[in-house]
Structures are given as C-alpha cells and as structure tokens.
Amino acid sequence: MSQEVTDADFKQQVLEADGPVLVDFWAPWCGPCRMVSPIVDEIAQEHAGKLKVVKLNTDDNMQTAAQYGITSIPALYVFDKGEVAKTIIGARPKPALEKELADYIG
C-alpha cells in the first residue's frame, strides 16, 4: 500500500517533494477507486524510485480536494515541482495508465 497524505502534510509530502509525485484521490465509498488503487500500487512498485505514489482520502481531506477542483474520483494527479503536471480522471485499465504515465515511469 502506498503512503496516505492529508491536508496537513500535503505541502511537505507532495508540493515540496524532489521528484514527481502521483496523488491518487479516493474515498471509501467509491467503487471504481477500489479497482484503481491496487493497479496504482502495482505501477508504483514496478517503477520504484521513479515516481512517488501517495493516496489522499477526499472525505477526510476536503480542503486539498477542493483546492485542486476535484469533482470526480478516482482522480490521479501528477505533481512536479509543486505544480499539477498531469491529470487522469476516471478508472483506467493498467496498460492505459502506464501509457498515460509514460513520461514519469518510462
């Protein structure tokens, strides 16, 4: 399982991180999120060291979710140097995700 981040440590864990960070926005009631999370974990593991992967529970961390205008989950955002570099909204199969993330895991 990837690390959980919160409103409190988002800045430190994500915005101020050295390399790119993929944030998996999810909530416990979201069925498709349950399907995507293990795939995201797999990708993180297979490319360890290239892309840091964290999860943010939007129910408990509404401030960060609102700040980035999340209106649909699962949503995968890649942050690079504090900025949103890529957004992937909605559940995708693993090959499709790998393709979308090629710049970061290739």
Using the rule CB under 8 A, is 75 a contact of another protein?
A: yes
Rounded to 10 degrees, the C-alpha dihedral 58/66/96/46 comes to: -50
Instruction: Give the count of residues interacting with another protein (CB under 8 A).
Output: 25
Distance between CA atoms of residues 44 and 76, nearest Å:
13
Within residues 35-64, the interface with another protein by CB under 8 A covers 35-36, 39, 58-59
Per-residue contact track with another protein, 17 to 36, x per CB under 8 A?
Answer: ----------x-xxxx-xxx
Which structure tokens are listed for 43? 């990708």
Based on the shown chain and the rule CB under 8 A, indicate whether residue 99 belongs to the binding site for another protein: no
Least Å from the CB of residue 92 to another protein: 6
Question: Residue 55: what residue type?
Answer: K
Residues marked active site are found at: 30, 33
